[in-house]
């Protein structure tokens, strides 16, 4: 399936038009008869004769029927729309979860004996995969300070084959200098693969491949789907790396259901308006929290106090609804009292849906190259919030009750 021609349309428009090919949204009698492609459910694709069946590997091309595991118009439409969301992407592979997307991308570029550089602020399942399965396969992972910038070149050795970035980090929200890391790493090793977990911003707010990355990974479970009802992941890659990504995904049998792809495609159409509302509400609540005596600091890339804020201003087109705040003193019990008192914030993993969430986070347990809390800071207890689409005034009132409970329990 060739990449559609470049379009001058804005990203907002591409969210609406991406993947809506006439041949996928209509019938022979009425091309383009529906707005969205239907849900194509099929494990077996039939051939008209044995000559067609034996026509060779060219039948296994993107956008051509081959076998259910290779997808059909529902999955193809989503993959094409996600490709158009990420400038410089050549193609996109879909995965049954965000973790599957991360692991699939890494396995497509790493071999036994290789070294992987991973940001110390990475999503915990990424670290678990690196320290577990990759280690079993003879792949060494070395963690680096997320604020290293061009200094990454000092860590690239002859065995370094990939770097996994995540900007901002999903617990402590340091913003990485993606262009500097990519340029320095390529200068040290032109064959290195540069991957980034772009779930927080999506391609709408961070054009990761334009900034130098080779693969942009998203847990589509979160903002792409947007309704907390689908597990899904994606990797959009440049023309150089897409064939290896695709080959590995097919070898591992990665596939997503057409029903899940259809729901993700539906969610994608409203990503722009949802993400901007998440941003506006989160910023309002974050600024309110920063003024509360129980809060030592707010970890939000849009705050000047957040590590890498100047880079966020330079590279990002916006911020999402996920951030953390650090409590002033207190105990684990007091933090639990804060969270348990909340009525409008659910307690649960994930984020990116329409609902607000709150969980306690302890970054120290998943740090090896940097320390938590930062040197000279005695406050370590943190709470991560996802701000949903509820009225921010109601969420602020709810948090005020939670902070009062924290004070009483501290």
Query: Could you say which DSSP state residue 106 is in?
Result: H
Distance from the first to the final alpha carbon of the chain = 59
List 123, 143, 223, 242, catalytic entry: 123
CB 155 within 8 A of CB 142: yes
List 14, 70, 161, 222, catalytic entry: 222
In the numeric block, which tokens belong to residue 403?
């902070």
d(CA 266, CA 260): 10
Q: Which of these, 399, 408, 380, 403, lies nearest to 294 by C-alpha position?
A: 403
Listed in order, strand segments (DSSP E) in 100-184 are: 115-119, 140-144, 160-166
CB 131 within 8 A of CB 155: no
CB 200 within 8 A of CB 386: no
List 69, 240, 314, 317, catalytic entry: 69
375 CB-near residues (< 8 Å, 6+ apart): none
* Residue corresponding to tokens 């849009």: 302
- 123 among known catalytic residues: yes
Q: Which of these, 270, 294, 260, 282, lies nearest to 390 by C-alpha position?
A: 282
Distances in Å between the Cα of 186 and the Cα atoms of 113, 143, 151, 183, 243 are 20, 18, 12, 5, 20
CA dihedral 213, 214, 220, 224 (to 10 degrees): 60
The H or E element containing residue 272 is helix 271-290
Query: Could you say which DSSP state residue 24 is in?
Result: G
Exposure b/e, 46-77, CB count within 10 A at least 16 = b: eeeeeeeeeeeeebeebbebbebebbbbbbbb
Listed in order, strand segments (DSSP E) in 300-344 are: 322-327
- 69 among known catalytic residues: yes
CB 395 within 8 A of CB 281: yes
CA angle 273, 275, 276 (to 5 degrees): 65
* Residue corresponding to tokens 């100047």: 310
List 197, 214, 272, 398, catalytic entry: 197
Active site residue ranges: 69, 123, 197, 222
């Amino acid at each position: 399936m060739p990449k559609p021609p470049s379009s001058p349309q804005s990203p907002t428009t591409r969210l609406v038009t991406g993947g809506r090919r006439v041949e996928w949204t209509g019938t022979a009698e009425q091309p383009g008869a529906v707005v969205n492609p239907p849900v194509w459910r099929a494990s077996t694709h039939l051939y008209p004769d044995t000559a067609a069946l034996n026509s060779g590997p060219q039948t296994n091309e993107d956008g051509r029927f081959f076998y259910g595991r290779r997808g059909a118009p529902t999955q193809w439409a989503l993959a094409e729309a996600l490709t158009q969301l990420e400038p410089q992407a050549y193609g996109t592979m879909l995965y049954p979860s965000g973790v599957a997307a991360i692991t699939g991308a890494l396995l497509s570029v790493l071999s036994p004996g290789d070294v992987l550089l991973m940001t110390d602020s990475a999503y915990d399942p990424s670290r678990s995969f690196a320290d577990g399965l990759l280690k079993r396969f003879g792949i060494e992972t070395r963690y680096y300070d997320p604020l290293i910038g061009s200094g990454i070149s000092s860590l690239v050795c002859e065995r370094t084959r990939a770097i996994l970035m995540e900007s901002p980090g999903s617990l402590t929200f340091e913003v990485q200098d993606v262009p500097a890391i990519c340029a320095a790493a390529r200068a040290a090793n032109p064959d290195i693969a540069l991957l980034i977990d772009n779930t927080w911003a999506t391609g709408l707010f961070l054009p990761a491949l334009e900034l130098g990355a080779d693969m942009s990974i998203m847990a589509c479970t979160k903002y792409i789907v947007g309704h907390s009802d689908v597990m899904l992941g994606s990797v959009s890659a440049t023309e150089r790396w897409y064939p290896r990504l695709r080959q590995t995904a097919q070898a591992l049998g990665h596939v997503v259901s057409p029903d899940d792809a259809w729901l993700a495609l539906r969610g994608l159409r409203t990503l722009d308006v949802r993400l901007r509302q998440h941003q506006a509400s989160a910023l309002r609540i974050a600024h309110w929290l920063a003024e509360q005596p129980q809060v030592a600091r707010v970890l939000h890339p849009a705050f000047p106090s957040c590590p890498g804020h100047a880079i966020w201003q330079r590279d990002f087109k916006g911020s999402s609804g996920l951030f953390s705040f650090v409590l002033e003193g207190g105990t684990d019990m007091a933090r639990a009292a804060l969270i348990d008192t909340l009525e409008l914030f659910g307690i649960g993993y994930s984020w990116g849906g329409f609902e607000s969430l709150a969980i306690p986070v302890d970054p120290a347990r998943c740090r090896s190259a940097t320390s938590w809390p930062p040197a000279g800071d005695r406050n370590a207890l943190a709470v991560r919030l996802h701000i949903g689409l509820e009225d921010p005034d109601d969420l602020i009132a709810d948090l005020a009750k939670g902070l009062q409970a924290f004070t009483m329990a501290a």
